[in-house]
Amino acid sequence: MQKVMHRRAGARHNFVAFIGAPFWRQTCLKCSAMLERLLLPDKHAIALLLKDHDAVKELFDRFEKTDSRSEKENIIRQALAELKVHAVIEEEIFYPAVRKTVGEKLMNEADEEHHVARVLIAELDINGRGDDHRMAKFKVLAESVRHHIKEEEGEVLPKAKELEIDFESLGRQMLDRKKELKAQGVPPDAEHAMVEHAGGKADTPAQTASSRKPMATRSSHSHSTASSKGKRKVHKVMKEHKRGTLKSGSGKKVTGRKQAVAIALSEARRSGARIPKKKK
């Protein structure tokens, strides 16, 4: 197979010549993908996957074009719902059916790409709107899913198509499962449990690193580190309170905000921060 680039209608096309392949396959990837969509019956398993891919790519494009925060949030909600259902039908039905034909290497990569996307989806689900990295996180998810789609459409699906199975019956199974998932919700996944277990922290590696300053820096800036350490303690305790995991000294769950603030201040004092005592 020989790859060259050509330009048509202002778009960059990836030209793929299949030696000995029929004429309609001796075309660029974008054009052959378009032809593929036209030639496949509606309920063909591959046609259904391509349709899903187009729908999420359109959402990603709309996300990039809009400046409205509420529209972006709306797009995030729709895209996460679409991606979760799409991932389940691929993992439960399509991937197992084509795995052997496509080969372990490509399928393992696809599995790992699903795993990475699922972690980002879980963080977007769990951390919610208060996360200041939310928009950046969704953009990274969109980039990673676009890459995954490109690999699926360019490598996985053409190989899967060589398989001699009833793709329309597979497609019908996928549609039934899709209906079920939309009505009942997707099953819980390990990535959501993992993010939940980590406390749903919005910390990025950079934020985590800044709270883990080297010892030398700590000793030379003892005053400022004492106060930032205090702030971090207060922040940590209030976050636990918000999540409903904060417990008092006696082990009881703290429900009142006043009690949570008192615990936060006392923890901050214990960490060395100079916090004036409440006037009586």
- Ramachandran quadrant class, 82 (left: phi over 0; alpha: psi -120 to 50; beta: rest): alpha
Burial of 46 (0-12, 13-18, 19+ CB in 10 A): buried
Piece in contact with Fe ion (CB under 5 A), picked from 6-14, 89-97, 133-141, 253-261: 89-97
**Is the Cα torsion angle 64, 200, 226, 253 positive or negative in sign?**
positive
Task: Kindly tell me which of 42 and 112 has the beta carbon lying closer to Fe ion.
Answer: 112
Phi, psi (5° rounding) for residue 123? Answer: -65, -40
Under the binding rule (CB under 5 A), the answer on residue 36 touching Fe ion is: no
Piece in contact with Fe ion (CB under 5 A), picked from 40-48, 82-90, 157-165, 253-261: 82-90
Task: Kindly tell me which of 149 and 268 has the beta carbon lying closer to Fe ion.
Answer: 149
Under the binding rule (CB under 5 A), the answer on residue 90 touching Fe ion is: yes
Task: Kindly tell me which of 144 and 204 has the beta carbon lying closer to Fe ion.
Answer: 144
Piece in contact with Fe ion (CB under 5 A), picked from 86-94, 100-108, 202-210, 237-245: 86-94
Residue 51, SS3?
helix
Task: Kindly tell me which of 124 and 160 has the beta carbon lying closer to Fe ion.
Answer: 160
> Under rule CB under 5 A, which residues in 133-162 are in contact with Fe ion?
152
> Under rule CB under 5 A, which residues in 179-208 are in contact with Fe ion?
none
Residues 6+ apart with CB under 8 A from 145: 56, 60, 83, 117
Residue 125, SS3?
helix
Task: Kindly tell me which of 90 and 191 has the beta carbon lying closer to Fe ion.
Answer: 90
Contact 134, 48 (CB under 8 A): no
Q: Shortest gap between Cβ of 123 and Fe ion (angstroms)?
A: 19
Could you tell me the CA-to-CA distances from 139 to 28, 76, 134, 248 in Å, in that order? 28, 10, 9, 40
Task: Kindly tell me which of 36 and 90 has the beta carbon lying closer to Fe ion.
Answer: 90
Interaction pattern, residues 94-133, with Fe ion; x per rule: CB under 5 A: ----------------------------------------
Q: What is the size of the binding site for Fe ion (CB under 5 A)?
A: 2
Q: State the Cα–Cα distance between residues 46 and 48, nearest whole angstrom.
A: 5
Q: Shortest gap between Cβ of 41 and Fe ion (angstroms)?
A: 19
Binding residues vs Fe ion (CB under 5 A): 90, 152
